[in-house]
Chain A
Amino acid sequence: MGKPNDLVQGTLGLLILKTLSLEPKHGWAIAKRIQQISNDVLQVQQGSLYPALQRLEQQGWIRSKWAETETGRQARFYSLTAAGRAQLEKEREMWSRLSAAIDLVVDA
């Protein structure tokens, strides 16, 4: 099963925000990107992306609009809002603090 562990699931939002910080993407591209970058370690269950996207949009951190893909098909593209960028910084910082702490405990 490609289910990510709980820790990663909790940070799915962070992953999405980070992925979108470079350029607007549609859902499938986000999933692919996360998979690629993490060298296939983070096997996000692809479908669970969509509830997360809806939640982020409801929070006002991302924005969506329908546009054509390279193949000429209509798809929903997500982009980061200014508030989303700030949120990304916040979550990124929290994540570093958390992982540093875990490192300390694990390496001790």
Chain B
Amino acid sequence: MRWLDRVQKSGATLFRRERETARLDEEMRFHLEQEITERVARGATPEEARRNALREFGNPTSLRDEARLGWDWGWLDTLSRDVKYAARGLRRSPGFTITAIAVMALCIGATTALFTVVRAVLLQPLPFRDPDNLVMVYEHWRSNTGGNPYNPVAPGDFYEWRNSTHGFEDMASYYNSGYNVSGDHGELPEVAEAQKATWNLFPLLGVEPALGRTFREDEDRVGNGHVAMLTWSFFQRRFGGDPSIVGKTVRLNSIPYTIVGVFPKWFAYPSARTQLWVPYSDGTTTERLHEHDNHYPLVVARMKPDVSLKTATQEVSALQYRMHMQYLGKPVAEDAMSRPMIDDVVKDVKTPLLMMMAAVGCMLLIGCLNVSNLLVARGAARQKEMAIRGALGAGRFALLREQMTETAILCAFGGALGLTLALAGTGWLKVHWHGLPRAESIHVDGFIVLFTLGVVCVTALLAGLLPALSVTQKGILGALKDSSRAAGASVSRARLRKALLSVEIALTVVLLIAAGLLLKSFVQLRTSDLGIAGEHVITMGYSLPKDQYSKPEQNIAFAESLLERVRRIPGVESVAIGAGVPGSGYFGDRVFIIPERPHYEDNKQPDAMTRYADPTYFATLGIPLIAGRVFNEHDRVDQSKKVIVSQELVKRYYPGENVLGRTVVMGTDITNKKQAYEIIGVVGNTLWRVGEPTKATMYYPVSTADPGQRLTLVARTSGDPLNYAVPIQKQIGALDPQLPVVDVLTISQIVGESTVNESFSASLVLIFAALSLVLAGVGLYGVLSYVVTQRVPEIGIRIALGAQRGQVLGMVLRDGMRPVVIGLLIGAGVGAGVGYVIRSQLYGTRPMDPSVFVAMLATLVVVAAAASAAPAWRASSVNPIEALRAE
């Protein structure tokens, strides 16, 4: 039972330390008493006996300490002593302590917050069964060589893949949809984002419902009943978490759907915006489900354990090629491509996240270097103390340990504060980072605390080791005989500080360049010309339910009355109805045939983005008419086959030709007279999304839009357009109280929304860069002040010998700028590389953008000059008499 004895002893000496110590004292006292008694018995006087007994025994206090060292926890004593010393030292210089702790807290906090996000989004496995085997399969066009090679899958292709290949365990598909949700009891109408999924998606992912069940196979057939599943958040928000919800009905686009189940809280797939799920085949036709040329759904597949992803994908690809040959002439892709689901989920945020993580890492490093620099300066002041203690027998290791304890305390406090900051920061990131996938899984837990602890240890080592080594390295003799007159004595320490400073500046330059490039991209995005005059325009979306507004006349009547009502609102200058506002998204395209040139190379069939417009649409949005005319009232009512095209379309498909009056045939069948349209006008180009190239566009009369299509009301107003949001919504409510309105946005909000992530990463990196700049400036100031203080006697002599103030000023400035220039050069080189790495995030600029480089380098030089100015001025105003007398 030796281990039991040992554990008992360890426990006693740890938890009952005071008592054990008291017992030790008692034991020794007993010993002395015995000894004295014995000596008295042998005839010594009590006085004598006591003296001799003590002499034979030794010093009880030091023996007690020695005995305590024998306990398992001897190091605790050492540690508590070191901590006491270090804390005392830190209290003595509160300015330094507070600065260092603040720097560390900021850097550690930012690092922890970003790591929390990176871990949840990029590192943790997806919350599905066996997530490593989940992949996304896409179509791929061989002509698609740039950008994103992954194209959505036509439903017909998907069914073929699932039925005729065997490389995957199973394949499922889903696509985005939306519904007007209403109730039978006058509940507020709203538009809910929904996904339509094949019944097997949930078993494939391994998702169990929280209530009820998922879809049955027979529910996923055309014309079979209307069923829906709710996500947890929608269930809670709209139905108050009613536990008897299963079996009840909800009206989607006015049609009653039976709720068969509710998903658990964690299921926020494909994004947290999804509110509802309905079967894939609901509300569509068998023909549409077997189309091979209409690409919108996504396909999820689960790999078989013994089939590689490559083999399985190749089989699908081979099938796809056969279909391509079978439907030659139709837009059916040649190949299939796949990638792991996790890569698919994080594709848009991986680069920005890693970029920010790197930025924050740089900042942490700069923070460490800065604290390191401060410590070197402090160490210089304690050089003699160290030397004396060394001379009195303190081992170098003991001194080193003490120094490190000090750094460790700073970092520990910084870390604790940083963790608090990280908690706040993580919450902030979660709320303000729009469209961050898996945001729901971001939280600070034990692992993150451990991570912070690790960061604290690393920073303590990074920041503390170099200064500690430098302070304790000097020979005792050297330090003691070192008089302040020996100007060269501290040169090596100053050199170390300058080297640290160069690294700090280089890192700052890198951050500044990255931030500058991102900022410029963001500004370019914000100021990019949408092609419209949108300052005073407000937009809002609605879709008329197919069942209530089944006839075109009903749609037209609704539009007529709505336009009439809105036009009468005072301050509304112009109003129109269309589909698809510039800047707000793609919303699909259609291929067409130019009858004069009916033959085209494989997959090079002309296509144009689809937009709908009414007669006042172009004027309201300020899209210029280049040639021909816009729609008139006649086109609106009779659903005439007229289209208006964008300049880009003319440039692309009719270069140098007159397009007015020409006919195009939509689709792939030139003989289909129903699809023949006449071009009546040409309008200016617009951007479908900020930062994306313009696309050939075709505008159809809004009366030809499909029933149920999302339409947008656009109104030009005098003054702030947001003031008209409520009055216009009231008019819609007056026409149909059950009709929900969505996306009430001004054009600048639309632009803002689509650049929000660019703005986000640009501002975060900019903040990190600015903080680093401040740190570098403070570091430079500290180093120069230190050097100047060290050189005061030398400068005094120089001045006494006739050096001009200007010369002294120049000398100190040169001294300060040398590490800056070195850091600048290194930083500029690395910065160029970094720009290249983040080029996918850049817009309207390039990695080596000279304007960004010049601006950022100039900023740094100005800050560095400002930081050097004060010490240099102090040096130049040294009074030689005082300086020399101080010796």
Measured CB to CB, the closest approach of chain A to B14, in angstroms, equals 12
User: B24, A54: Cβ atoms under 8 Å?
Assistant: yes
The contact string, 1 if C-beta is below 8 Å from chain B, for chain A 9-46, is 00000000000000000111001000000000000011
User: B60, A47: Cβ atoms under 8 Å?
Assistant: yes
Measured CB to CB, the closest approach of chain A to B11, in angstroms, equals 12
> Complex Cα distance A82/B27, Å?
24
User: B35, A46: Cβ atoms under 8 Å?
Assistant: yes
User: B59, A47: Cβ atoms under 8 Å?
Assistant: yes
B-side contacts of A27, CB under 8 Å: 27-28, 30-31
User: A58, B70: Cβ atoms under 8 Å?
Assistant: yes
User: A50, B28: Cβ atoms under 8 Å?
Assistant: yes
A-side contacts of B58, CB under 8 Å: 45-48
B-side contacts of A83, CB under 8 Å: 2, 5
User: B2, A28: Cβ atoms under 8 Å?
Assistant: no
User: B68, A47: Cβ atoms under 8 Å?
Assistant: no
A-side contacts of B60, CB under 8 Å: 47
Residue from the set B1, B10, B70 with the largest chain A CB neighbour count within 10 Å? B70
User: A51, B10: Cβ atoms under 8 Å?
Assistant: no
User: A54, B67: Cβ atoms under 8 Å?
Assistant: yes
User: B28, A47: Cβ atoms under 8 Å?
Assistant: yes
> Complex Cα distance A60/B9, Å?
8
A99: interface (CB < 8 Å) = no
User: B5, A81: Cβ atoms under 8 Å?
Assistant: yes
User: B9, A57: Cβ atoms under 8 Å?
Assistant: yes
User: A47, B9: Cβ atoms under 8 Å?
Assistant: no
User: B27, A76: Cβ atoms under 8 Å?
Assistant: yes
> Complex Cα distance A62/B23, Å?
17
> Complex Cα distance A76/B12, Å?
15
Measured CB to CB, the closest approach of chain A to B33, in angstroms, equals 8
Chain B, 49-92, CB within 8 A of any chain A CB = 56-60, 63-64, 66-72
User: B35, A51: Cβ atoms under 8 Å?
Assistant: no
Q: Which listed residue (A46, A50, A55, A57) contacts B56, Cβ 8 A?
A: A46
> Complex Cα distance A57/B70, Å?
9
> Complex Cα distance A76/B31, Å?
10
Q: With A50-B67, A75-B30 given, is the CB distance from A45 to B56 under 8 Å? A: yes
A72: interface (CB < 8 Å) = no
Question: Looking across the interface, which residue of chain A has its beta carbon closest to that of B54?
Answer: A47
Q: With A63-B5, A81-B2 given, is the CB distance from A28 to B70 under 8 Å? A: no
User: A58, B10: Cβ atoms under 8 Å?
Assistant: yes
Q: Which listed residue (A46, A47, A59, A76) contacts B23, Cβ 8 A?
A: A76
Q: Which listed residue (B26, B34, B56, B63) contacts A51, Cβ 8 A?
A: B63
Q: With A28-B30, A28-B35, A58-B9 given, is the CB distance from A51 to B69 under 8 Å? A: yes
User: A60, B3: Cβ atoms under 8 Å?
Assistant: yes
B6: interface (CB < 8 Å) = yes
Measured CB to CB, the closest approach of chain B to A101, in angstroms, equals 29
Measured CB to CB, the closest approach of chain B to A72, in angstroms, equals 12
A-side contacts of B13, CB under 8 Å: 58
Measured CB to CB, the closest approach of chain B to A21, in angstroms, equals 16
Measured CB to CB, the closest approach of chain B to A79, in angstroms, equals 11
Q: With A45-B58, A46-B56, A57-B9 given, is the CB distance from A51 to B67 under 8 Å? A: yes
A-side contacts of B63, CB under 8 Å: 47-48, 50-51
Q: Which listed residue (A31, A45, A51, A73) contacts B70, Cβ 8 A?
A: A51
Measured CB to CB, the closest approach of chain A to B131, in angstroms, equals 49
B-side contacts of A61, CB under 8 Å: 2
A-side contacts of B1, CB under 8 Å: 81-82
Q: Which listed residue (A26, A28, A45, A54) contacts B71, Cβ 8 A?
A: A54
> Complex Cα distance A47/B13, Å?
20
B-side contacts of A28, CB under 8 Å: 30-31, 34-35
User: B27, A55: Cβ atoms under 8 Å?
Assistant: no
> Complex Cα distance A60/B576, Å?
92
> Complex Cα distance A27/B71, Å?
18
A-side contacts of B34, CB under 8 Å: 28
Q: Which listed residue (A50, A58, A75) contacts B6, Cβ 8 A?
A: A58
B-side contacts of A51, CB under 8 Å: 63, 66-67, 69-70
- A residues lining the B interface (CB < 8 Å): 2, 26-28, 31, 45-48, 50-55, 57-61, 63, 66, 73-76, 81-83
Q: List 8 A-B contacts (CB under 8 A).
A: A2-B56, A26-B30, A28-B34, A58-B10, A60-B3, A66-B23, A76-B23, A83-B2
Pairs A-B, 8 closest by C-beta atoms: A47-B58, A83-B2, A55-B70, A60-B2, A60-B5, A54-B70, A51-B67, A60-B6
Contacts A46-B57, A58-B6, A58-B13 supplied; 14 other A-B pairs, CB < 8 Å: A26-B27, A27-B28, A28-B30, A28-B34, A28-B35, A45-B58, A47-B58, A50-B67, A54-B68, A58-B10, A58-B70, A58-B71, A75-B30, A76-B23
